[in-house]
């Protein structure tokens, strides 16, 4: 029995990209609440986007870097989100989970297999490369990991592979990594922060084709 690989399209800022992700069956759509990102949205900008997602559509993920509770609370007051992706130590991510009661996926940067987590109290892990030297943000840097690194790794919770994935590479990444889910931002953009509906469609099609589906 195979299970279709789950797909997150992250860093959505405009209706066109969001509508493409919805139309092609993405499982999650992500909104980046981090001002230094080229995909940053404010709560006021994200609210109408999140409202476009129909019932039964992709889950709406708000992405925060080292946030305080007030920032998250103000965002949740304005934007309908179904889950959070948090860049913070595990203990802080768990605090956020307990405070807001939403599923929390913790972003985890890895350089070698030794960095892969063996325990987690959260709802999921986003496994991606550590930011390159000089990066002004912890994710969304188009940096792939060595996909073979996770083959054989038993994640303690659901996980998704992120970092540098593209429509051309996602099938191989899934086959080599054994990832049950994938996450992309840069690889489906025509320019930083501008999602391309055709690239989103191609990415989802490529991630869902072929024998590499997770067993
Ligand atoms: O996307 C960003 O600009 C970003 C900024 C700050 C923290 C996280 C960010 N993105 C997180 C994601 O979940 C991305 O989809 C993931 O890092 C993969 O990004 P990419 O390598 O560009 O596909």
Q: In this structure, what CATH number is given to the domain that contains residue 174?
A: 3.20.20.70
Cα separation, 58 vs 53, in Å, equals: 7
Residue with CA nearest ligand 1 atom 19: 140
Q: Is 141 left (phi over 0), alpha (psi -120 to 50) or beta?
A: alpha
Q: Give the DSSP H/E element, type plus range, for residue 95.
A: helix 90-100
Number of domains, the chain: 1
ipTM of the complex: 0.99
Q: How confident is the model at residue 152 (pLDDT cuts 50, 70, 90)?
A: confident
**Ligand 1 in contact with 193 (CB < 6 A)?**
no
Asked whether residue 214 is assigned to any structural domain, the reply reads no
**What is d(CA 17, CA 29) in angstroms, rounded to the nearest whole number?**
10
Q: Does any domain span residue 213? A: no
For residues 146-167, give the mean pLDDT.
97
Taking the mean position of all CA atoms in its chain, how far away is CA 210? 22
Percent composition of the chain: helix, strand, coil (DSSP 3-state, to 5): 30, 25, 45
Full residue range of the structural domain in which residue 93 is found: 6-208
Strand-pair category, 194-195 with 189-191: antiparallel
Q: Is it the case that residue 1 has pLDDT exceeding 90? A: no
Q: Tens of pLDDT along 162-203?
A: 999 999 999 999 999 999 999 999 999 999 999 999 999 999
Residue 21 Cβ inside 6 Å of ligand 1? The answer reads no
Does 160 reside within a domain? yes
Tell me, using a 6 A CB cutoff, whether residue 43 lines ligand 1.
no
């Amino acid at each position: 029995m195979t299970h279709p690989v789950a797909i997150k399209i992250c860093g959505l800022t405009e209706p066109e990209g969001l509508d493409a992700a919805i139309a092609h069956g993405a499982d999650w759509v992500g909104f980046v609440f981090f001002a230094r990102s080229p995909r940053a949205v404010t709560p006021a900008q994200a609210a109408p986007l999140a409202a476009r997602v129909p019932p039964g559509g992709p889950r709406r993920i708000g992405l925060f870097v080292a946030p305080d509770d007030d920032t998250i609370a103000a965002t949740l007051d304005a934007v309908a989100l179904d889950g959070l992706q948090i860049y913070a130590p595990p203990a802080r991510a768990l605090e956020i989970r307990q405070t807001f009661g939403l599923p929390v996926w913790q972003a985890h940067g890895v350089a070698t297999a030794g960095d892969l987590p063996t325990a987690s109290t959260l709802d999921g892990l986003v496994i991606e490369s550590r930011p390159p030297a000089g990066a002004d943000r912890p994710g969304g840097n188009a940096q792939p990991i060595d996909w073979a690194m996770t083959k054989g790794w038993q994640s303690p919770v659901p996980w998704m592979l992120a970092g540098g994935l593209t429509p051309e590479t996602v099938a191989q990444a899934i086959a080599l990594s054994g990832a049950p889910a994938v996450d992309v931002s840069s690889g489906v953009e025509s320019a930083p922060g501008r999602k391309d509906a055709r690239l989103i469609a191609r990415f989802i099609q490529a991630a869902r084709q072929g024998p590499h589906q997770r067993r």
